[in-house]
Amino acid sequence: MREKVVVFTGAGVSAESGLGTFRDAGGLWHEHSVYDVATPEAFARNPELVLSFYNERRSKAAAAEPNAGHRAIAELEQGFDVVVVTQNVDDLHERAGSSRVIHLHGKLREARGSDHPEAVRDIGAEPINLGDLCERGSQLRPNVVWFGEEIHHVDAAVREIRAADRLLVVGTSLSVYPAAGLLGDAWNAREKVIVTLDLDDPPRGYEWRRGKSAELLPGLVAEWLAFPPG
Ligand code: OAD
Mean pLDDT of 153-167: 98
Position 201 scores a pLDDT of 78
106 lines ligand 1 (CB under 6 A): no
Cis omega (within 30 of 0) on the bond before 127? no
Q: Which of 70, 93, 103, 105 is catalytic?
A: 105
Q: What's the predicted TM-score (pTM) here?
A: 0.97
142 lines ligand 1 (CB under 6 A): no
CA dihedral 158, 160, 162, 166 (to 10 degrees): -130
Position 160 scores a pLDDT of 98
Q: Which residues of 95-133 are buried (b: 16+ CB within 10 A; e: fewer)?
A: bbebeebbbbbbbbbbbbbbebeebbeebeeeebeeeee
Instruction: Count other C-beta atoms under 10 Å from residue 210's C-beta.
Output: 12
103 is known as an active-site residue: no
**Which residue, judged by its Cα, is nearest atom 16 of ligand 1?**
12
**Which residue, judged by its Cα, is nearest atom 33 of ligand 1?**
87
Going by C-alpha positions, the residue among 176, 112, 180 that lies closest to residue 140 is 112
Within the chain, all domains assigned CATH 3.40.50.1220 are found at 1-19+66-105+151-230
Residue to mutate, 8, 14, 19, 23, ligand 1, most ligand atoms under 8 Å from C-beta: 23
Position 45 scores a pLDDT of 97
pLDDT at 230 over 70: no
Mean pLDDT of 161-186: 95
Within the chain, all domains assigned CATH 3.30.1600.10 are found at 20-63+109-144
For the domain spanning 20-63+109-144, the CATH number is 3.30.1600.10
Position 228 scores a pLDDT of 65
23 lines ligand 1 (CB under 6 A): yes
pLDDT in tens, 93-107: 999 999 999 999 999
Position 87 scores a pLDDT of 98
pLDDT in tens, 33-77: 999 999 999 999 999 999 999 999 999 999 999 999 999 999 999
183 lines ligand 1 (CB under 6 A): no
Strands (E), 21-149: 81-86, 101-103, 106-113, 120-122, 140-144
The CATH topology of domain 1-19+66-105+151-230 is Rossmann fold (3.40.50)
Burial of 185 (0-12, 13-18, 19+ CB in 10 A): middle
Ligand 1 centroid vs 149 CA: distance in angstroms? 19
pLDDT at 180 over 70: yes
pLDDT in tens, 67-124: 999 999 999 999 999 999 999 999 999 999 999 999 999 999 999 999 999 999 999 9
